[in-house]
Amino acid sequence: MLDNLFLIDIETVPQFKNYNELSNEWQTLWWEKISKTMPENISPENSYLQRAGILAEFGKIVCISTAYYFTNEKNETSLKIKSIYGDDEILILNTFITLCDRMYSHNKLYQFAGHNIKEFDIPYICRRMIINNLSLPDYLNFYEKKPWEIKLFDTLSWWKFGDYKNYITLHLLASVLGIPTSKTDMDGSMVQVVYYEEKNLRRIADYCQLDVIVTANIVLRFQNLPILNESNILDVQ
């Protein structure tokens, strides 16, 4: 099963640094989208900072980290990891699809894997591709497909065990399973600050890669297999 998994994680930011950079029309569209789900006393400016990055209509992708398992010369389970990041979202998406096409050409059974990718990463990628006038490949075109035809390995869905009310963060799940987590000097809420204030894309990519590694170790724990040693993780940038 491990041979068929292509692990992914994305990092996103608002399309603009702050709400005031939106046109009047887009400020109206933002408030129409978000006002009913935010506390009454929150301003449009603060709501934009809090939520714009996670909504595909108002955010953009700045990093996609990918990984797959392989067996090294010592017959140990290992991981190859690669991050695609930058300011040009179209280039990021096109590079990602080229990588996916290459994976698919070698293994028609491969499927995306990650934490909460059914509800966030995959839909976000697909929406941003459509917004950017990019064609969806068949393996990302889930419209009108039956549930059993959608091949995604989601560690959040696995952990639910049919309990649809349950939600668990990647950080908590890793901690419960005794896996070193990616929450070191930054967390997801800091990505837009690192992007717009520090302009440090490499730091964002490093953080995104750590999430992929954590997810890879969670999958191994689900299979009752040893987690990865640092020496078994190969960055192929």
The residues spanned by each domain of the chain are 2-235
Is a pLDDT exceeding 80 seen at residue 152?
yes
Separation between Cα atoms, residue 59 and residue 53, nearest integer Å:
4
Does the reported pTM lie above 0.85? yes
Going by C-alpha positions, the residue among 73, 65, 58 that lies closest to residue 27 is: 58
Structure confidence by residue, pLDDT tens digits, 162-189 = 888 889 999 999 999 999 875 567 777 8
| 2-235 CATH | 3.30.420.10
Could you tell me the CA-to-CA distances from 112 to 6, 55, 63, 115 in Å, in that order?
5, 21, 16, 10
- Please report, as a single letter, which amino acid is at residue 218: I
pLDDT at 183 (0 to 100): 59
pLDDT at 141 (0 to 100): 86
pLDDT at 184 (0 to 100): 64
Separation between Cα atoms, residue 213 and residue 233, nearest integer Å:
8
Q: Is the dihedral of CA 44, 54, 237, 174 positive or negative?
A: positive
